[in-house]
C-alpha cells in the first residue's frame, strides 16, 4: 500500500480552500432556506402537538447531527432525546411511546438501520417526520412529514464526505427548535432553569440573599457614631462602605470612600464629626429577593461598587459589593 502524497500548498491556497468550503456550506443553507414552506410548518405543528417527546433518530454522521438536534430541542423547551437506530432494534425502541413524535434523519433516505425501525414506529401509530436529501427516497415516502434538506454539493472536493449536507440538516434542526421555542413562549428564565450550571443559569436564578453578607458581616454604624468609628467598620468588613442606620436597623444612609474624600477635603475632624453629617442619604439599595443580576445593573448604571440590602420596611438585612458578584459568576 503506497503512502498518500501530501499536496504542497502555500498559506494563501490553504485560506482559499477554507473559504471555498464555507461558501459551499453557506450556499447549502441558503438553498434549504429557500425551500421552507408547508412541510416545515406541518413539522413544527406536529412537534408542538405531541403530548410526549420528540425522539430523534439518525445513523452515522446523521446520527451525530440528530444528537445535537435532540439536545437543542430539550434545552429550549421541547422535551427530546436521541435513539440510535441500531440500538433501537435491540430494545431501545421501547423508549418510544404512543405520545411521542419521531424525527428521522438520513441524507440518502435509504439508510438501512433507520428504515429497519419504521415498521415498529408505524405500528405505534405516532407521527413521523423526516429530514432527507432525497424527496423520492424510501424514508421520505414512508413518513407523515418530509422536509427536503438536499444540497447542491458537498464541501468535500470528492463530493463524498458529509459536510454541506450535515450542515444543512443541523441548521434545519435549529430552525425547528427556534420556532418551537417561540410557539411555547420559552423565556430566558426557562432557559436558565434548563442550564442551572451555566453562566446564564447563575445570572437568572441567583438571588441577592444568596450572595450578600449577613448578620455580623454587615458594615453598619449609627448616625451619632463618629466618622472614625465608621472608618473602622469599613476597614473591618472590607466592603468599601458602611450603612448608617437607626438602632432598630432602619437605613438612614451610607458612607463610602467617596464620602470620606469629601469629608477630608472639608478638613472635618473624623474623631468629632458624626456620621449623620457626612453620610449620603439618598443611597441606592436592593431587596434580598431581587436577582443578583439586578444588583449588577444597579452598580453599573450608577457607577458604584457596593449596595445595602434592605427589606420591605427599609431595615438593613445585608450588604454586597462588586467582588461578591464576581465570585458568584454573575458579572
Query: What would the grid cell of residue 238 be?
Result: 472590607
Q: CA-CA distance, 27 to 20, in Å (whole number)?
A: 11
Question: Which range among 121-135, 154-168, 310-324 shows the weakest confidence by mean pLDDT?
Answer: 154-168
pLDDT bracket for residue 201 (50, 70, 90): low
Query: What would the grid cell of residue 75 be?
Result: 434545552
pLDDT bracket for residue 330 (50, 70, 90): confident
pLDDT at 39 over 80: yes
Query: What would the grid cell of residue 121 be?
Result: 414506529
Q: CA-CA distance, 10 to 8, in Å (whole number)?
A: 7
Question: Which range among 1-5, 158-162, 200-204, 258-262 shows the weakest confidence by mean pLDDT?
Answer: 1-5
Residue 89 is predicted with a pLDDT of 85
Region 24-53 average pLDDT: 94
Residue 209 is predicted with a pLDDT of 92
pLDDT bracket for residue 108 (50, 70, 90): very high
- Is the CB of residue 119 less than 8 Å from the CB of residue 72? no
Each residue's pLDDT tens digit, 176-186: 999 999 988 87
Rounded to 5 degrees, φ, ψ at 5 are -85, 135
pLDDT at 63 over 90: yes
Using alpha carbons, select from 35, 172, 38, 165 the residue that is nearest to residue 106: 165
pLDDT bracket for residue 203 (50, 70, 90): low
Each residue's pLDDT tens digit, 284-315: 999 999 988 889 889 999 999 999 999 999 99
Q: Which CATH number fits domain 13-186: 3.30.420.40, 3.40.50.2300, 3.10.100.10, 3.40.50.10490?
A: 3.40.50.10490
Rounded to 5 degrees, φ, ψ at 311 are -85, -175
pLDDT bracket for residue 206 (50, 70, 90): confident
pLDDT bracket for residue 76 (50, 70, 90): confident
Name the CATH superfamily housing domain 208-327: CBS-domain (3.10.580.10)
Q: Using CA atoms of 59, 60, 65, 66 in order, give the dihedral in degrees to the nearest 10.
A: 20
pLDDT at 105 over 90: yes
Region 94-106 average pLDDT: 95
Residue 91 is predicted with a pLDDT of 80
Identify the DSSP state of 168.
H
Rounded to 5 degrees, φ, ψ at 315 are -95, 145
Identify the DSSP state of 280.
B
Q: CA-CA distance, 56 to 73, in Å (whole number)?
A: 10
pLDDT bracket for residue 77 (50, 70, 90): confident
The number of angstroms, rounded, from the C-alpha of 301 to the middle of its chain's C-alpha atoms is: 24
Locate the domains of the chain by residue range.
13-186, 208-327
Query: What would the grid cell of residue 312 be?
Result: 420591605
Alpha helices in 101-163 (DSSP H): 112-124, 138-142
- Is the CB of residue 268 less than 8 Å from the CB of residue 278? yes
Region 235-250 average pLDDT: 93
**pTM for this one?**
0.65
Q: CA-CA distance, 139 to 145, in Å (whole number)?
A: 10
> Average per-residue pLDDT in the chain?
89
Region 216-240 average pLDDT: 93
Question: Which range among 126-135, 188-197, 230-239, 247-256 shows the weakest confidence by mean pLDDT?
Answer: 188-197
pLDDT at 149 over 90: yes
Q: Name the more confident of 156 and 4.
A: 156
Q: Which residue has the cell 420596611?
A: 313
Q: Which residue has the cell 420559552?
A: 186
Amino acid at each position: 500500500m503506497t503512502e498518500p502524497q501530501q499536496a504542497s500548498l502555500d498559506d494563501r491556497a490553504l485560506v482559499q480552500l477554507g473559504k471555498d468550503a464555507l461558501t459551499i456550506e453557506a450556499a447549502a443553507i441558503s438553498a434549504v432556506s429557500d425551500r421552507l414552506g408547508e412541510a416545515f410548518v406541518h413539522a413544527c405543528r406536529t412537534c408542538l402537538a405531541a403530548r410526549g417527546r420528540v425522539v430523534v433518530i439518525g445513523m452515522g454522521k446523521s446520527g451525530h447531527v440528530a444528537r445535537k438536534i435532540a439536545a437543542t430541542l430539550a434545552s429550549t423547551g421541547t422535551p427530546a432525546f436521541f435513539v440510535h437506530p441500531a440500538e433501537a432494534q435491540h430494545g431501545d425502541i421501547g423508549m418510544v411511546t404512543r405520545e411521542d413524535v419521531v424525527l428521522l434523519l438520513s441524507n440518502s433516505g435509504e439508510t438501512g438501520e433507520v428504515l429497519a425501525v419504521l415498521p415498529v414506529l408505524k405500528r405505534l401509530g405516532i407521527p413521523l417526520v423526516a429530514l432527507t436529501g432525497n424527496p423520492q427516497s424510501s424514508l421520505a415516502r414512508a413518513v407523515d412529514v418530509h422536509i427536503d434538506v438536499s444540497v447542491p454539493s458537498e464541501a468535500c472536493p470528492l463530493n463524498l464526505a458529509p459536510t454541506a449536507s450535515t450542515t444543512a440538516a443541523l441548521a434545519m434542526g435549529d430552525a425547528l427548535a427556534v420556532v418551537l421555542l417561540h410557539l411555547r413562549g420559552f423565556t430566558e428564565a426557562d432557559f436558565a432553569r434548563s442550564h442551572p450550571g451555566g453562566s446564564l443559569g447563575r445570572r437568572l436564578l441567583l438571588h441577592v440573599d444568596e450572595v450578600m453578607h449577613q448578620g455580623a458581616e454587615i458594615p453598619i454604624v449609627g448616625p451619632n457614631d463618629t466618622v472614625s468609628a465608621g472608618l473602622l467598620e469599613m476597614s473591618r468588613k472590607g466592603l468599601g462602605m458602611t450603612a448608617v442606620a437607626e438602632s432598630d436597623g432602619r437605613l438612614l444612609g451610607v458612607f463610602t470612600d467617596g464620602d470620606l474624600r469629601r469629608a477630608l477635603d472639608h478638613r472635618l475632624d473624623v474623631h468629632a464629626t458624626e456620621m449623620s453629617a457626612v453620610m449620603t442619604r439618598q443611597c441606592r439599595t436592593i431587596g434580598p429577593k431581587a436577582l443578583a443580576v439586578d444588583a449588577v445593573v444597579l452598580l453599573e448604571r450608577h457607577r458604584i461598587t457596593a449596595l445595602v440590602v434592605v427589606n420591605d420596611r427599609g431595615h438593613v438585612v445585608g450588604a454586597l459589593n462588586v467582588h461578591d458578584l464576581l465570585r458568584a459568576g454573575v458579572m
